């Protein structure tokens, strides 16, 4: 199986990053930056589990033809691309923020904190960061938020794959502890099966208690 890069459009219009996956990295290099990281998160929507962020620094114009927004790839393609990224990247770091912290703050704050932590773990640090989404990360490093950045920047796309695969593996490990929710299948998302399990068993220690679909149910013994 070959993971492959797609060329998405918005209402049929092509944007620079959709025809040149290095467009935003190239712009940053023209401004004098050299160690450019892409950062993205996985797990904003689920009812259970952490939100996970990854930061990736790629060698300039690394050959990663299959790397794309993780949501556009199958699980098998993501795994193949994950291995390719780890094999070529100059740096890869991951950070997770727990369901408990998500409940204490909110999912956006937790997502940005996970991205900040992932960026902070890169050594030597990046001098520029491309961020998926419209919000800047609370960090002092120069950065550019990019809406749909995981489809427009290869560095952000690589980060999206690392974050997604890492989180999916975490949810597989949680499945062993809480098999009644079938996290192996739903990865914490609010599927019909998952909601039925919540109604039957209540929530567990990795559920996000402030999320609709969870807060209606009493927690099981943790």
CATH of the domain at 162: 3.30.420.10
Q: What is the pLDDT of residue 132?
A: 98
Which positions ≥6 away from 162 have C-beta within 8 Å? 54, 56, 82, 85, 86, 92, 94
- 196 within a domain of the structure (yes/no): no
- 27 within a domain of the structure (yes/no): yes
Which positions ≥6 away from 185 have C-beta within 8 Å? 191, 193
How many domains does the chain divide into?
1
Write out the residue range of the structural domain in which residue 93 sits: 21-177
- 6 within a domain of the structure (yes/no): no
With tokens 């290095």, the residue in question is: 22
Q: What is the pLDDT of residue 18?
A: 60
- 106 within a domain of the structure (yes/no): yes
Which residues of the chain carry a pLDDT beneath 50? 1-15, 221-222
- 212 within a domain of the structure (yes/no): no
Q: What is the pLDDT of residue 144?
A: 98
SS3 call for 186? helix
- 154 within a domain of the structure (yes/no): yes
Q: What is the pLDDT of residue 61?
A: 86
């Amino acid at each position: 199986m070959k993971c492959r890069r797609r060329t998405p459009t918005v209402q049929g219009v092509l944007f620079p990053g959709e025809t040149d996956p290095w467009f935003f990295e190239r712009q940053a290099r023209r401004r004098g930056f050299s160690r450019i990281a892409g950062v993205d998160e996985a797990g904003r929507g689920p009812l259970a589990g952490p939100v996970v962020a990854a930061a990736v620094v790629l060698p300039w114009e690394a050959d990663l033809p299959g790397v794309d927004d993780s949501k556009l790839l199958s699980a098998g393609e993501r795994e193949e691309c994950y291995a390719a990224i780890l094999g070529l990247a100059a740096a890869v770091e991951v950070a997770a923020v727990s369901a408990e912290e998500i409940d204490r703050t909110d999912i956006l704050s937790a997502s940005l904190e996970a991205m900040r932590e992932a960026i902070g773990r890169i050594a030597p640090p990046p001098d520029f960061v491309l961020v998926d989404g419209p919000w800047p990360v609370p960090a002092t490093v120069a950065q550019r938020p990019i809406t749909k950045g995981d489809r427009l920047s290869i560095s952000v796309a690589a980060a999206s794959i690392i974050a997604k695969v890492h989180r999916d593996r975490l949810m597989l490990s949680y499945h062993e502890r809480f098999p009644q929710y079938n996290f192996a299948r739903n990865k914490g998302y609010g599927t019909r099966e998952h909601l039925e399990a919540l109604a039957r068993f209540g929530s567990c220690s990795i559920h996000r208690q402030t999320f609709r679909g969870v807060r209606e149910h009493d927690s099981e013994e943790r």
